[in-house]
Each structure stands twice: as structure tokens, then as C-alpha cells.
A = this chain, B = another copy of it.
Amino acid sequence: MKLTKAQKRVLDFILQHIRERGYPPTVREVARAFGYRSPLSAKQHIDALVRKGYLRRASGVSRGLSLAMPLSNASSLSLPVVGTIRAGSPILATENIEEYITVSRELFPLEEGFGLRVVGDSMKDAGILEGDIVIVRPGVEPTQGDIVVALVEDEATVKRLFIEDGTVILKPEHPDMRPMRFKAADVKILGKVVGLIRRF
């Protein structure tokens, strides 16, 4: 069932309260948060949220609210891990997805993203080895020196990014390899590497 604007605001407040403080708010705390001068104003919104299945309530119990959907869904995120990325086909094409990993938002504060299995040892001096999974946050403007996932010549690679007057420089971290320079149009930055996971 759909929520009204006011109901959605109240639900968001309750969610945030539980996430931040670890326990639900009282009816009056909800009222205070929205400037309501009567506790009933808040209670009616909560009643609606319970009726519509968004919240559970133990009646007569102080702070007796809980989420109908477990918070674990909110506190952790399931990310697809791709092995190879080719230009043309979408990054997260199902045939590319090797597995899904669950990472806690606490550890990697993402809204969306994906994992990429590292191929080759071009970033070995940055402690990124073959087989590692790098956690990639797409759609953020990377700054000078960030480690990124870039799509060049039909292949995705992990490199350190520098930009010099319109030229994109992808720098490996390997003693035998040299930085590569590209015209901005020839490189697509898929995202910034924000984490790494390795299994031994």
C-alpha cells in the first residue's frame, strides 16, 4: 500500500532513529521531531504505517515499534561481482556476474556499486593482486590520484588515475609497467575503487 508524504516522512524518521540510536522513538518524540503539538498527530501516522504493513507495533508498549522488513536489508548491500567487463554490453550483464557478495554499509558506505575481480598484477605495488575483488562506486567524479576502474579498448582495468590538460593518464603500480596516456574520449571511467576484499 502506498504512503502519503507525511507518512513517508514519519517512516524515514523512525528508520533513521533506529539506525542511529539503536532503539525506536516514542510517539511524542516523533511529534516533537515534526513540530506537532499533539501526540495524536504522530500516533495517527504511526497507526497508518502499522496498518499498511510498514511497521510492527507491540501495543501499549513504550517504543514498541519495529520494522516489518528487517533492518539487515538496510544495513547491508548485495553487490554483483563481475569477472570481465567488455565495452558494448552493459557492465552488469547477467552473463558477466560471477557471484554476489554481501557487504555491510557500515564498512563500505554505498548506495549502489559492484565488485570487479582483478586480473593481472599491474597494481601489485598498491597491494591489489590477481583474484582480489575491488569494490567500485560508480558515478562519482574521481579526483587526481584515485584508483579507478576504467574502460579502454574494450577492456576494463584497474589503475591509478591522473588527468593532465585533457589527457587521461592511467598509471599502473608495478615496477615494470609505465603509465599510459589516452585522449579523454577514448577512456570511460566506470567508477572509483573504494574497497578491496581478498579471500585466502
Contacts and interface: CB of A to CB of B under 8 A. Distances in A.
Contacts of A32: none
Contacts of A197: 107, 195-198
Given A102-B106, A107-B101, A107-B102, A22 B24 contact: yes
Contact of A193 (B125, B147, B200): B200
Nearest to A126: B129
Size band of the interface chain A makes with B: 35 or more
For the complex formed by this chain, how many copies does it contain in all?
2
Contact of A26 (B62, B70, B129): B62
Nearest to A130: B127
Interface stretch (A5-13, A72-80, A179-187): A72-80
A72 B62 CA distance: 24
A139 interface: no
Contacts of A107: 101-103, 197, 199
B104 A102 contact: yes
Contacts of A24: 22-23, 63
Nearest to A131: B127
Contacts of A64: 23
Interface of A: 18, 21-24, 26, 56, 58, 61-67, 70-73, 75-76, 101-104, 106-108, 124-125, 127-129, 132, 146-147, 192-200
